[in-house]
Amino acid sequence: MKDFFKYMAATVVGLIVFTLLTGVLGVMCIAGMIASESSAKDVSDNTVMVLNLSGVLNERSEESIMDQLSGSTVGNMGLDDILDAIKKAKNNDKIKGIYIEAGMFGADSYASMQAIRNALKDFKKSGKWIVAYGDVYTQGTYYIASVADKIFLNPSGQIDWHGLASQPIFLKDMLAKFGVKMQLAKVGTYKSAPEMFTADKMSDANREQVTAYISGIWQTICKDVSESRKISVDSLNAYADRLITFDDPKEFVKRKMVDKLIYTDGIKAEINKLMKKDADDNINTAGLAEMKLLADNSSKGDEIAVYYAYGNIVDSEETGMMSQGHNIVGKKVCEDLQALADDDNVKAVVLRINSGGGSAYASEQIWHYVEMLKKKKPVVVSMGGMAASGGYYISSGANWIVAEPTTLTGSIGIFGMFPDFSGLLTQKLGVKFDEVKTNKNSGLGTPARPFNEEEMAYIENYIDRGYKLFRSRVAEGRKLSIAQVEKVAQGHVWLGQDAYKHKLVDQLGGLNEAVAKAASLANLKEYHTAPYPGKSDWMEQLLNKASQGSYIDNQLRLTLGEYYEPFMLIRSMNRQNAVQARVPFILNIR
């Protein structure tokens, strides 16, 4: 019996040792694979860069180790990687052109698509060519592809061309069925975010501003396509009115929207024609993954930090299997900005902001750290698709602000929303409450009843004080009077091109223009950029500290489509800060 236990113990120990060794070897293999894939590489001569516009576009790539091991890239496209790849392709003599393959492409804004399109326009200055092919072009992918020298369409394909519409969602009546209503305190006639919960249609003020910004975006789209395709803006509007999406594909050729109808197998011959090669010759290609590995020789000179801040502004990070995408976490951003201020190697900072806002408290904290950073080195803001409400709050103190023409910004205003569940509890569920209290307002926030008139007056004063603080921050940063800010505040959302006219931004352009301005302010003649914050390494991801929620979130986004945002909003409603500086929860431009 003693021998039995001895052999059994030895077996167990052996299994444990074997498992540990296998795990260590596995980790070492994974590390080796990633290290080998991450080492700088070059491309062959006569290479074509392939830009596959499929999946969901994020402000910054969030590819996880699980994506790398599985080979999945769906839902993990980063605007930063695309812009960097196009720039490398322009400067690499071995790359002769770009092939755009249009697919089902989801971007958070037309400003992001405009940034890609502008980068492609800049690429063409090198004398290299761009061709595009699609079985079906969404309106967004066609907008990007319209810059190409040649646009090809499948003989049975489509181009979605219908104009823009915004269809806000209203939940007031749905909540009422459960005995729930929202108690609202807000400042700003145009502050429309709470309407989703407190109204059943758009207010006149909101309809006015939404009409203005979707019309402005559409005019920009039509103007850009008109210039590239030599089609009049009037014709493009007429095509949208007639829903040419459903026309015979041959009509797209007649209307100059595409150059030729070909099947997928004909693309090779068309590209070889541009390369001056035989139709059947093999083509060397490089996708985004390969472009990321190209050696970058632009690391000379002083460093300009590009700090990416995108997503909802929150007080603390939500973690776990169902965390909702990327957030601007107040405490973490403040710590990062302090580190950049203390880093003597960093000579200037560009804040790349893409956010519709969020927590007013977190926005104020970040504003404070931007002010401290600005005392040590220049701070320039580059606005992405949105830098509105809280997103504008954290931008307002910068030395210089650069926005895309179609960026949504401004929305200077604050609101507080407090759900009243008393109807659900007392009327629907039959819950009864009683009360004993020591002071007049001891029962503030009880689920037994809504706020009374006096309590709401206190809350409204608090919200008004927050609005005045926000307004004063803008006035100080933009060097405007309070009266001047008030004229463009009240929660009004502006396009970047209009915000420029109202002095809410200093310059129209993208990230490159912001970096150039930062270099100028810091008196740098030779410089390079470095992205911040650093991405999680493979070990952190393996230990489940970074990407699990992101992976699940990407799959949900792809599965739920347009229903993703309402689903996630309802799920996270009770975890949001009650006092918000943000644009509508679901912008819904389509």
List the 327-329 sheet strands across, edge first.
181-187, 414-420, 579-582, 357-359, 312-314, 327-329
> Which alpha helices (H) appear in 375-506, and where do they start and end?
390-393, 422, 453-478, 482-488, 496-501
Q: Quick check: helix, strand or coil at residue 99?
A: strand
Residue type, 330: G
Active site residue 191: yes
Provide the Cα torsion 67, 70, 73, 79; round to 10°: 30
Q: Quote the CA–CA distance of 413 and 186 in Å, as a whole number.
A: 8
- Host H or E run for residue 54: strand 47-58
389, 395, 396, 547: the active-site residue? 389
Contacts of 207 (CB under 8 A, 6+ apart): none
128, 191, 347, 517: the active-site residue? 191
Q: Is the dihedral of CA 255, 258, 259, 265 positive or negative?
A: negative
Q: Quote the CA–CA distance of 175 and 181 in Å, as a whole number.
A: 6
Active site residue 181: no
Contacts of 189 (CB under 8 A, 6+ apart): 205, 490, 491, 492
Q: Quote the CA–CA distance of 372 and 350 in Å, as a whole number.
A: 15
Closest by CA position to 104, among listed 558, 563, 488, 492: 558
- Quote the radius of gyration of the chain (alpha carbons, Å): 27
Residue type, 161: W
Q: Quote the CA–CA distance of 572 and 33 in Å, as a whole number.
A: 38
Beta bridge partners of 302: 527
**Pairing outcome for strands 95-106 and 47-58:** parallel
Look-up of token digits 């690429």: 123
Catalytic residues, which ones? 191, 389
